[in-house]
Amino acid sequence: QAVRSDEDRALAGGGGYSQGRAVVVVVEDLNSFATAADDLAYQVKQLFPKALRLGGLTIRGSSVSSGYDDAVSWRVPVFIDWISV
């Protein structure tokens, strides 16, 4: 979800901007090794370093959250925060 804000004018180039968060969820079978999902989640995170520019978007940062199970799979969320001027 994108929201309008003027929180960090230096990052936005001095004007208004939109910002948001993308979520990538790495999913593995519940009975497989959780480390495989964790490793893949960290690989996804590394694809989105801070200040990476993708067209009109700039990545503000990315992070890996704690994994959790949903009774049939192991899930590890990766959060990717972005800004668009």
Dihedral in degrees, nearest 10, Cα atoms 32, 80, 44, 85: 160
Q: Residues 62-85: pLDDT tens digits? A: 999 999 999 899 999 999 999 997
pLDDT of 2 > 90? The answer is no
Q: Residues 25-36: pLDDT tens digits? A: 999 998 887 788
The first and second tokens of residue 50, run together, are: 């801070």
Task: Determine how many CB atoms are found less than 10 A away from the CB of residue 70.
Answer: 9
DSSP 46-81: HTS-TT-EETTEEEEEEEEPPPEE-SSEEEEEEEEE
